[in-house]
Amino acid sequence: MKKTIGVAAAAAAIALSLSACGGGSSASSEAKGEINYWLWDANQLPAYQQCANDFTKANPDIKVKITQRGWDDYWTTLTNGFVAGTAPDVFTNHLSKYPEYAAKKQLLPLDDAVAKDGVKLDSFTKGLPELWVGQDGKRYGLPKDWDTVGLFYNKAMTDSAGISAEQMANLDWNPTDGGSYEKAIAHLTVDKNGKRGDEAGFDKNNVAVYGLGLAGSGSGQGQTEWSFLSATTGWTHTDKNPWGTKFNYDDPKFQDTIAWWAGLIAKGYMPKLETTVGASLADNFGAGKAAINTTGDWLIGQYKGYKGVETAFAPTPKGPNGKRASMFNGLADSVWAGTKNPAASVKWVEYLGSAACQDVVASKAVVFPAITSSSEKAAKAFKAKGIDVSAFTTHVKDGTTFLFPIADKAAKVDGIMKPAMDAVLSGKKPASSLTEANNQVNDLFK
């Protein structure tokens, strides 16, 4: 695989001179020198350091310096870097961020390099490569991994509640009474006196263990919080995806879903929103404060690492449409348009998108790489560690995924939806108030 990775020097240099916000004239068209690569996930750092070492061994003229930053710090520093001209040459990119970066000409199109170097886009999991083609028809990233959502649960707690693994794997949900999903959440909730949430005398104001953990309100996406529920009602975030221009937060199907979910707090089955500020959803689970967390497969390793806690996984519950659902998100690696070293940067991105690197990532059993064959190797690596990941892979197998909503003005949409969702979750406003927020969001596109 290494040998087939050509150098897209001329193409990258031309693309750079057309699209960069400066730095084009001094750009090197030779694939050599040091390039900076950024990522945010500490769990994946060892795998990518291995990829960098292997890459430099095959390309002695190119050194890769890797920097890992926490999620919030990562995006702030990156945005500031674009303005100051100090951004990394290559960085891990997110579907919620790239449309804005592309619109501001901060990303190097990869089309010429992909064509010239024969990058096989069909080697990636179906649907992933297309996500990184902007509204201008240009490609701004090569897929690195994909993720789905599942139920992470404390097996000792479900055992003592008399809920079997089979029952956990076959929960159902509806926005009227919550189905067997709410029944399980209620039964797994325990107050300070040992009373369960579904028992007489349960004290919802003094809860020791919540049936369901809470990370936050999920803003306008709800990737791990509520989107796997709302999608089973037939609701979609936007009129089309990608590049929708009309949002549907005013739909009764969506508002009923959120009203049900927020109602778990009122019943004492889920923590109050204000208690989640500055807290870690995962660490609360590790400390035995919640029986179930809904979260993404990229956290499997962290949840399996808590001492004295046996974490098991179940797929998301089936909804009113009779099916499960999970948002399907895919990360990619992008090249900054202002890089002084486009040729080496493109060569590194192509290597990151190759089986040579993605097999290394797969072997560490942390995430599911974007290349189909590497993803299968990751599933085997998880299995070798005694971890059953079928709760996450079932969505891809059964075709029950839906795409992360990709639209322009994502930051502005978030600026409206986060406080609106927070107000509903904290009980200050009813779910019907989301209609007003939806009007504000849609006004952005007029």
- 446 residues of the chain, pLDDT tens digit each: 322 223 333 333 323 333 333 333 335 567 899 999 999 999 999 999 999 999 999 999 999 999 999 999 999 999 999 999 999 999 999 999 999 999 999 999 999 999 999 999 999 998 899 999 999 999 999 999 999 999 999 999 999 999 999 999 999 999 999 999 999 999 999 999 999 999 999 999 999 999 999 999 999 999 999 999 999 999 999 999 999 999 999 999 999 999 999 999 999 999 999 999 999 999 999 999 999 999 999 999 999 999 999 999 999 999 999 999 999 999 999 999 999 999 999 999 999 999 999 999 999 999 999 999 999 999 999 999 999 999 999 999 999 999 999 999 999 999 999 999 999 999 999 999 999 999 999 999 99
Burial of 384 (0-12, 13-18, 19+ CB in 10 A): exposed
Q: Which of 217, 312, 333 is nearest to 264 (CA)?
A: 217
Angle formed at CA 118 by CA 113 and CA 121, multiple of 5 degrees: 95
Burial of 114 (0-12, 13-18, 19+ CB in 10 A): buried
Give the containing element (helix H, strand E) for 147: strand 142-147
Task: Say how far apart CA 253 and CA 232 lie, in whole Å.
Answer: 10
* DSSP string covering 56-123: HHH-TTEEEEEEE--HHHHHHHHHHHHHHT---SEEEE-TTTHHHHHHTT-B---HHHHHHTT--GGG
Phi, psi of 290 (to 5 degrees): -145, 145
